[in-house]
Structure 1
Amino acid sequence: MDTEKTKSLDTGTAFHCRVLEPEEFSKRFIIAPEFNRRTSAGKEEEKTFLEECARTGITVLTAEEGRKIEFMYQSVMALTECIAGEVDQ
């Protein structure tokens, strides 16, 4: 399986959901918290978190992916407001 391609598809799907189905976003996606992977406890916390997300079918996004999605979302919303303002004139 091409994990790079899968991650890109997950990010695209998350962005689509954020823009077109914002009420569904938090039901389908989660931004992973930071885990201290240098400790056994941190590794165990991450493992438990990922297992729970897999069990419930929630797609995990990294903090960076979440930041990018939010930036793109804000850009779309700003453009939408700009276009709406032009139509009103």
Structure 2
Amino acid sequence: MKILVAADLHAVTRRLADRPLPSLIEFSAASRSATLDPLLGLRGLFENGKVEVPDLLICAGDLADKADPNAIRSVWRELTQICRDYKVPVTLPR
């Protein structure tokens, strides 16, 4: 069984001028780069065969910086789309 763990992504939806960017996943950016953004980069790794598509994806937490609800929704939407695109089952705890 192949397991992929997504953790400590600390995604942001807006850049705060008074502090450095805490993540390479910035949903408010004009464009995102697959060479920097791990969510975009993951798709490329699957597509070029450098990483096998997992049987299970575990989201271990800290998906967004400072629990930003917009960033959490954006990361979750992107992760579930990756799962749909690559046929990785999505299981939620009951």
TM-score, shorter chain, exceeding 0.5 = no
Q: TM-score, normalised by structure 2?
A: 0.33
Q: TM-score, normalised by structure 1?
A: 0.34
The structure having more radius of gyration, on CA atoms, is 1
